[in-house]
Structure 1
Amino acid sequence: MTEVIDPAAPDPAPHPHATEDEVRAAYDDPKLANVLYHDWEAGTYDEKWSISYDERCITYAVDVFRAAAGVEDTPYETAMELGSGTGFFLLNLMQGGVIKKGSVTDLSPGMVRAALRNAEHLGLDVDGRVADAERLPYDDDSFDLVIGHAVLHHIPDLRTAFREVLRVLKPGGRFVFCGEPTRIGDAYARKLGQLTWWATTNLTRLPALRGWRRPQQELDESSRAAALEAVVDLHTFDPAELERTALGAGAVDVRAVTEEFAAALFGWPVRTFEAAVPDEKLTPAWRLFAYKAWLRLSALDKRVLSRVLPRSVFYNVMITGTKPPGPVSL
């Protein structure tokens, strides 16, 4: 029987300033690495990834959810986000009318607090717990929907996590996970990011471009974060293999779809460039250009490239499935 965490147990406090010894230990402990990395990032995560809670991200979240789910049987009365981070996916889906009441969970206490602050600011009905995806602190049959965005690749035992998701779902309830890296997509995205970082940080050493260089201390911080990020990113996915994992955990009606090829080839160099130059250089005009270009390339991916390219070459994989109406067969 799966161990269930005592729901009355107090959550741990955020720990945003890890010691060198803790960081060293994290290289051999992916869960500790996830806590330290995401506690460290919690205060600046929304800014780093251009996350907002306005029409731009509401539209994106709703569109991605519906593309993954393949249905529009909304709104869902209760939903839990697994690995919520600052609440990007859940809170924007709530604002978009997909979900009425939500719960955020994350292994990082800092991220749970950030998500709850965002929810309070938006006036949304949300509670939250620090939670391990492999041992969720909720009763059986608690939620109509479980969602996640860019979380599955952080979980060591994915089969156990899927079983926990099915346990806390009500019979017939749905899960939807988006924003996961494919095996091929991750390879070219990382290479593009590395090349862009190298080019930007070296070119901005030139006298004529020194105004475009971030202070060395900030670049060192980004490099250390990137090193730990390599520890917390545990998996990349072949879409068919991810479907088999969910089916093996007991899910039914499982379907994986992919998105972002041209958009990823453009987006990853842009994100890396933005991380390597001072914020004041990223004018509103630049941000508007980058966003509109990404939208146009995403449309190209959806309308043209998805019809002619295999799903495995796209960067993001999304998966949905449901809990059987009867007992889950493991």
Structure 2
Amino acid sequence: MSFPVVRNRRLRGSSALRNLVRENQILVNDVVQPVFVTYGTNIKEEISSMPGVYHFSLDRVEEEIKEITDLGIQAILLFGVPEHKDAQGSSAFDDEGIVQQATRRIKEINPNLLIIADTCLCQFTDTGHCGVIHHHPVTGHADVHNDLSLELLVRTAVSQAKAGADIIAPSNMMDGYVHAIRTGLDEAGYENTPIMAYSVKYASAYYGPFREAAHSTPQFGDRKTYQMDPANSREALREAESDVVEGADFLMVKPALAYMDIIRMLKDNFDLPVVAYNVSAEYAMIKAAAQQGWINEEAIVMETMTGFKRAGADIILTYFAKDIARYLQR
């Protein structure tokens, strides 16, 4: 049977009818707001490439947390900008480090707000890389040493959990990182702390504004030996499967906008919650175009988020989270 008996437009005739048959919807519970904390006092400093996103000192973070809470957002992704950097990124696993202090402070402000702690070393190493640098004894070539880095990432995860982080989110892309962190958390008594694995993290050009925000630009080379080649998709399944076997509780795809096919692959092949990270340049491009008056920002944002949900994302990490919450309240 076909036209004129079948008329697909019948289900599009009014707003109420379209709402009734809508397949995917964005809810405030779907989104997570990233938050950047730093040392100092009385700091609320806008990140130039990310309008509306700020660095907060610990004495100013309460205003951000209260705004997030009032909007009904239930989770944040916490990043810290340290005062000190060194070869091992020791500030990352210092119990008095910036993330640990911020976690305790935020839990004082709102004990019910879920804190997802980004677990990486790149903000904390003086090289800007996600692990310890090793020089090949013959060639002298410098690269991130996988297994030595795991030891420090475990220490970081345990320290973050001890401070009160609800979820550990390792973003380093070291082989075996989920197994190492799961073992370390369990041995330290944090067997119920979930791991949100950055399972499929590409060596992407979409991270530029974040590197300004986190002060984490590599001081030499790039991250292509540990982050994935953007041309590859089957490799994503291998990476995700490794994390599932090692004990991950969530699987993330980062970035999201150019990788919706990967989000769908993970959704179709695994039964864990799938997380899409709507990254900094994806945010910055929309903000820049909106400031020029070239696009309807709200319409573009909500269409993009709906695209992530349609692709299979259960959770969306996005710098638009507060904006989305405001849109949904209207």
TM-score, normalized by the shorter chain, greater than 0.5 = no
User: Which has the larger helix fraction?
Assistant: 1
> Which bin holds the TM-score, normalised by the shorter protein?
0.3 to 0.5
TM-score of the superposed pair, with normalisation by structure 1:
0.37
TM-score of the superposed pair, with normalisation by structure 2:
0.37
